[in-house]
């Protein structure tokens, strides 16, 4: 006979009790589904580095979003790939640009789903950077703000329910909040990619969104992956500027950052399980190395346990399928 008094296993003994004591649950309403819409195509096209993820035409994306809604998914985030790119990102704020057209069509066909639009310039710039380039090749901050704000406004005018700036220019949340308020869109929330690291995990996204920079990298505007204090600073600044959500991106390698922000901001936190995370898990699944369902539930619950309230994931439809059964 041993004299063990405290036995944690007593609470794991009965499966019903294990279920009752589940501390963190993943729900379909936690998920945001990202979709890519490409101008000038008539059929969807699979992305080589992201099997199961597609670039959609406007007609096809409407079908895809409806399917997601029917599975119980409450929100989508739209990324546009324009036909023409230039040095002023004119496709980004065009009333008839790809995101604006898709937003109107989705709103019409599926009026209840929450439409979030990614606000960035890289997909629309011939050079693939997220801001304007000065004569000496710098990514300009302040002159880019007006373009970003106009882009956000045009999305909302087309019917977007929320905008998500991902450019990482300083002051963009305030610039967007100001223009939205001036146009009577005080009620439209801003989901700020406040804490966005310069990450190699975005590789497959740049194939999907055709947005790889043609020179240099994004390290002068996205954060270095060694920083923690800077993440807090970015989150606090965006909160002061009027952000309604704070996003941390990528997710899996940055759970500590989500945890720290949980204690420093009262705004809801969003984790973005990015393209490279999708590709890794999908590749391992396709090789039969692990069970996709189990690994997805475990990784997403990890993000929630760390403090994320919502999760952006390319796996949203698969997860909705698992959660239903």
Q: Does 166 bind ligand PBG (CB under 6 A)?
A: yes
Of the listed 38, 196, 229, 304, which one is catalytic?
Answer: 196
Q: How many residues in the chain?
A: 325
- Asked if 196 is an active-site residue, the reply is yes
Q: Does 251 bind ligand PBG (CB under 6 A)?
A: no
* Cβ neighbours around 250 below 10 Å, total: 21
CA distance 310 to 260: 16
Pairing of strands 31-38, 114-119: unpaired
**Among 205, 221, 254, 315, contact with ligand PBG (rule: CB under 6 A):** 205
Q: Does 202 bind ligand PBG (CB under 6 A)?
A: yes
257's tokens:
């950052």
Report which secondary-structure segment, H or E, holds 43. none
Q: Does 130 bind ligand PBG (CB under 6 A)?
A: yes
Scanning the chain, the segments in alpha helix (DSSP H) are 15-20, 58-70, 98-109, 142-158, 172-182, 203-208, 229-240, 255-262, 275-286, 292-306, 316-324
In this complex, which beta carbon is closest to ligand PBG, that of residue 103 or of residue 166?
Answer: 166
Minimal distance, residue 125 CB to ligand PBG, in Å: 10
Q: Does 33 bind ligand PBG (CB under 6 A)?
A: no
**Among 275, 279, 299, 313, contact with ligand PBG (rule: CB under 6 A):** 275
Of the listed 219, 249, 287, 304, which one is catalytic?
Answer: 249
DSSP state letters, 196-225: EB--GGGHHHHHHTT---SSS-STTTSBPT
In this complex, which beta carbon is closest to ligand PBG, that of residue 80 or of residue 307?
Answer: 80
Active site amino acids: 196, 249
Binding-site ranges for ligand PBG (CB under 6 A) = 118, 120, 122, 130, 166, 202, 205-206, 218, 274-275
């Amino acid at each position: 006979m041993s004299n063990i008094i405290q036995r944690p296993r007593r609470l794991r003994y009965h499966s019903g009790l294990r279920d009752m004591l589940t501390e963190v649950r993943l729900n379909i309403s936690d998920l945001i589904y990202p979709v890519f819409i490409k101008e000038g195509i008539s059929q969807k096209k699979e992305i080589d580095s992201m099997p199961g993820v597609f670039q959609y035409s406007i007609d096809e994306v409407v079908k895809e979003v409806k399917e997601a809604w029917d599975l119980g998914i409450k929100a989508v985030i739209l990324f546009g790939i324009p036909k023409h790119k230039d040095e002023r990102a004119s496709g980004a704020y065009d009333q008839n640009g790809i995101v604006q057209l898709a937003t109107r069509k989705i709103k019409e066909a599926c009026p209840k789903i929450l439409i979030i639009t990614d606000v960035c310039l890289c997909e629309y710039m011939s050079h693939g950077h997220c801001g304007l380039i000065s004569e000496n090749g710098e990514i300009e901050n302040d002159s880019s703000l007006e373009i970003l704000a106009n882009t956000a406004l045009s999305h909302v005018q087309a019917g977007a329910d929320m905008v998500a700036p991902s450019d990482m220019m300083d002051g963009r949340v305030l610039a967007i909040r100001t223009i939205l308020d001036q146009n009577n869109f005080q009620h439209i929330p801003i989901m700020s990619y406040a804490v966005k690291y310069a990450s190699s995990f975005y590789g497959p996204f740049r194939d999907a969104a055709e947005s790889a920079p043609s020179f240099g990298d994004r390290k002068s505007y996205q954060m270095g992956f060694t920083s923690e204090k800077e993440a807090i600073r970015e989150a606090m600044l965006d909160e002061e500027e009027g952000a309604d959500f704070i996003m941390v991106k990528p997710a899996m390698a940055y759970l500590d950052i989500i945890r720290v922000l949980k204690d420093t901001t009262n705004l809801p936190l969003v984790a973005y399980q990015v393209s490279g995370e999708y590709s890794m898990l999908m590749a391992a699944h396709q090789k039969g190395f692990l069970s996709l369902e189990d690994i997805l539930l475990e990784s997403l619950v990890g993000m929630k346990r760390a403090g994320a309230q919502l999760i952006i994931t390319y796996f949203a439809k698969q997860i909705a399928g698992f959660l239903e059964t």
